[in-house]
A = this chain, B = another copy of it.
Amino acid sequence: MAAGQGSAAVMERRLSAAEAQCARAGVQLTELRRQVLALVLEAEQPLGAYALLDRLKTQRPGAAPPTVYRALDFLLEQGLIHKVERLNAFVGCAGAGHDHHAGHQHAHQFLICRQCGQTIEISDPMVARALAEAASRVGFQAGHAVVEVEGRCATCAAVA
């Protein structure tokens, strides 16, 4: 197995779901985009664009920064991956393929473990609501929100 968020079979299922989602949206999950998505999904942690590029080069020797950034932009637009701003890195969207959000952004939050680097995605409606209320209280029309909490995950807390 290639390490990562799940077995090869799970990976395949997620890629197929992505394929289906793109088909529905009328956009193409090309080979390149699929490769980059697979690289993001099989990582245990958020990966930076250049880390992805290095890995991509093993399959596609001519790859250059724009190669990977264009694929990432596409995947972000389709809501298949998210960017972790604090880390300048990318992770697979936890909810992708569950079609309660076919394509495009949904409210989500990241919990970033400072010890093991694992990044947990949650989607807490109370956080979203509190933010929307706080914003509207000052007349601000809220769009997409970046919410990233640094701390210690349950596993690392249990060890020490």
Do residues A141 and B126 form an inter-chain contact, with CB atoms below 8 A?
no
Count of identical protomers in the assembly: 2
Checking B114, B130, B146 against A146 with a beta-carbon cut-off of 8 angstroms, the contacting residue is B146
Question: Which of the four size classes fits the interface of chain A?
Answer: 35 or more
Contact A114 B143 (CB under 8 A): yes
Inter-chain contact B154/A145, CB cutoff 8 Å: no
Q: How far is the CB of A147 from chain B (nearest CB, A)?
A: 5
Check if A149 sits within 8 Å of B140, measured CB to CB.
yes
Taking CB atoms and an 8 Å cut-off, the chain A residues in 120-154 that contact chain B are: 120, 122, 124, 126-127, 129-131, 133-135, 137-154
For the complex of A and B, list the 6 residue pairs with the smallest distance between their C-beta atoms, beginning with the closest: A139-B154, A124-B134, A143-B151, A141-B152, A85-B85, A126-B130
Other-chain contact of A149, B126, B131, B137 (Cβ < 8 Å): B131
